[in-house]
Amino acid sequence: MTAIELLLQRQSNPLLTAPAPDAPDIDNILSAGMRVPDHACLKPWQFTVIQNNGLQRLSDLFVKAVNAANKTGLIEESDLEKKIAKTMKMPFRAPMIIVISTHYQEHDKVPKSEQLIAAGCASHAMQMAAYSLGYGAMWRTGELAYNNIVKAGLDIAEENEIVGFLYIGTASKTLPLKPVRHYKDNVNYWN
């Protein structure tokens, strides 16, 4: 597969199973995240690789966050049980998750918005690297990405943000290629 084929054919795949990337592949995936555009070379991101027993720890953290969010009792008991059951399973959607978060740096020429975009580019680059190595990957956020209990549990400072949870594994099913989305309605030309 050429680089342009990779860019034009990549798509998310949520149907992931073992094996996860091995150590050399993890190194390549993380290295790809480090090569993104980065104004002033601030490296305004942090990567947390979660696998093996870490998946259970993340599940426990997610459940703790859901329970804390419901301390007012606004969710019906049966609905809460369903939400917790679903939440417990979320980390096990793949054998590896890389949590990408910001690690904002003070800089007079690089606002936080640029640093957030750079961290997003790192997420995308790692997803593309995983795909190029033959793995499936899915970049997810959701309400737990914005939860301070989850952030604290992952040692992410409150002023930083979780950009996403990058689920990586071996695709358990090959998905049909999604239709091409044409760019014509999203482009203006100045000649």
Cα 147 to Cα 129: distance, rounded to the nearest angstrom: 28
Kindly state whether residue 184 falls inside one of the protein's structural domains: no
Kindly state whether residue 188 falls inside one of the protein's structural domains: no
Taking 70 as the threshold, does the pLDDT of residue 74 lie above it? no
Please, which pLDDT band fits residue 1 given cuts at 50, 70 and 90?
A: confident
Please give the pLDDT value at position 70. 82
Q: Which of 137, 153, 146 lies closest to 58, judged by CA?
A: 153
Cα 25 to Cα 35: distance, rounded to the nearest angstrom: 16
- Residue-wise pLDDT for 104-160, tens only, equals 999 999 999 999 999 999 999 999 999 999 999 999 999 999 999 999 999 999 999
Kindly state whether residue 182 falls inside one of the protein's structural domains: no
Please give the pLDDT value at position 156. 98
Task: Look at the block and give the residue holding tokens 């044409």.
Answer: 182
Please, which pLDDT band fits residue 76 given cuts at 50, 70 and 90?
A: confident
Number of domains the chain contains: 1
β-bridge partners, 165: 99, 140
Kindly state whether residue 23 falls inside one of the protein's structural domains: yes
Taking 70 as the threshold, does the pLDDT of residue 36 lie above it? yes
Please, which pLDDT band fits residue 73 given cuts at 50, 70 and 90?
A: low
Taking 80 as the threshold, does the pLDDT of residue 4 lie above it? yes
Which domain, by its residues, includes 98?
Answer: 15-173
- Kindly state the average pLDDT of the residues 38-46: 97
Instruction: Write down the pTM of the prediction.
Output: 0.94
Cα 53 to Cα 77: distance, rounded to the nearest angstrom: 29
Q: CB neighbours (10 Å) of residue 150? A: 22
Q: Which helix (H) or strand (E) holds 56?
A: helix 53-69
Taking 80 as the threshold, does the pLDDT of residue 38 lie above it? yes
Please give the pLDDT value at position 169. 98
User: What CATH number is given to the structural domain containing 48?
Assistant: 3.40.109.10
Would you call the peptide bond into 37 cis, given omega within 30 degrees of 0 as the criterion? no
Please give the pLDDT value at position 131. 95
- Kindly state the average pLDDT of the residues 46-65: 98
What's the 3-state SS for 83-144?
Answer: HHHHHHHHHHHCCEEEEEEECCCCCCCCCHHHHHHHHHHHHHHHHHHHHHCCCEEEEECCHH
Kindly state whether residue 82 falls inside one of the protein's structural domains: yes
Tell me which amino acid residue 65 is: A
Averaged pLDDT of the chain: 95
